[in-house]
A = this chain, B = another copy of it.
């Protein structure tokens, strides 16, 4: 089959790859209904993260089960399923505690920017819908697979409660869906930090009540002004840089909550400074699996429309243009049709 491979920074190719097949009895192979480019794909694309060898790309997926290994008991061919970027057994102590991305048997799922995909630990990883969803729900179902699940974790990890004042750092797809998640959890005031008008517009659609365009110390100052000098109850850091992290910690009130859900790149925290901020800090790779049943329901019942983050749709063969558009911030997120 033809699939997506990153050869070196900026060099995305759609080229001949081995067809995925069942390797372990717990595997499934699915045919993708849709896939997409992730903000985190841009780290190696931009050379910030090393690419030691040609690497199959993509980890966001939903589609139809084609084949299952003989150890798979809960799924059968023909079902529509959604999974996430880490395969998990969903039974170990970490999974039982709701941290499936720290599963003792976790495996990265890679190569989803392709027509077909092997998913390990299929019983633990994939959640099937009761019926095949209608075509118009596919983008939102795909968003559930990663960016919505991650935004949802950002809101939960930052303890968003009804009536809370929330600030969101980052206006990528995750940040925008963190706004949506905070709204769903009953936040009263949601301050989105964004300086791009199309993203500000979507943030408002998703529930943002205020927009802050300033960054760094000025951004922190602005959040303080908006919160009577106190700071936000919950700050959701959805970028992963030193600047965004400091901005998030600085914008929280003493005793407030800061979550961070983008893999940190070059971030170091000074223990003593952090100590005196009195913030709660929690984050990590989002345990999307924990949220899949609930989020699938919310999409199925049209309570939320996270698929709006896809403002560019391309045939899978044009995946390289999807990377370019996101890298140049011409697109928030590119959906790819196999």
| Cβ contact within 8 Å between B268 and A230 | no
The docked-state distance in angstroms from the alpha carbon of A280 to that of B280 is 7
Q: 13 new A-B pairs (CB below 8 Å) besides A264-B271, A265-B272?
A: A93-B228, A94-B253, A94-B254, A99-B278, A102-B254, A268-B270, A268-B271, A269-B269, A269-B271, A276-B284, A278-B284, A280-B280, A280-B282
Does A245 sit within 8 A of B, measured CB to CB? Answer: yes
Which residues on B sit within 8 Å (CB–CB) of A97? 253-255
Chain A, residues 205-243, CB within 8 Å of chain B (1/0): the string is 000000000000000000000001110000000001010
Tell me the minimal C-beta distance from A139 to chain B in angstroms.
28
| Cβ contact within 8 Å between A282 and B281 | yes
| Cβ contact within 8 Å between B284 and A277 | yes
Does A101 sit within 8 A of B, measured CB to CB? Answer: yes
Q: How many residues of A contact B (CB 8 A)?
A: 40
Which residues on B sit within 8 Å (CB–CB) of A98? 255
Tell me the minimal C-beta distance from A149 to chain B in angstroms.
15
The docked-state distance in angstroms from the alpha carbon of A306 to that of B280 is 27
Q: Which residue of chain B is the closest to A259 with respect to CB atoms?
A: B280
Most central of A104, A229, A267, A271 by chain B CB within 10 Å = A271
A275 touches which of B94, B229, B242, B260 (Cβ 8 Å): B260
A102 touches which of B245, B255, B269, B284 (Cβ 8 Å): B255
| Cβ contact within 8 Å between B269 and A101 | no
Q: Which residue of chain B is the closest to A254 with respect to CB atoms?
A: B102
Interface residues of A in 41-80 (CB under 8 A from B): none
Give me the 9 closest cross-chain CB pairs, A-B, nearest first. A267-B271, A264-B271, A102-B254, A99-B255, A278-B284, A269-B269, A281-B281, A280-B282, A99-B254
Chain A, residues 74-100, CB within 8 Å of chain B (1/0): the string is 000000000000000000011001110
Which residues on B sit within 8 Å (CB–CB) of A229? 104
Which residues on B sit within 8 Å (CB–CB) of A280? 280-282
Which residues on B sit within 8 Å (CB–CB) of A94? 230, 253-255
Does A20 sit within 8 A of B, measured CB to CB? Answer: no
| Cβ contact within 8 Å between A271 and B285 | no
Tell me the minimal C-beta distance from A71 to chain B in angstroms.
23
Which residues on B sit within 8 Å (CB–CB) of A278? 99, 101-102, 284-285
Does A132 sit within 8 A of B, measured CB to CB? Answer: no
Which residues on B sit within 8 Å (CB–CB) of A314? none
The docked-state distance in angstroms from the alpha carbon of A263 to that of B101 is 32
Chain A, residues 269-302, CB within 8 Å of chain B (1/0): the string is 1111011111111111100000000000000000
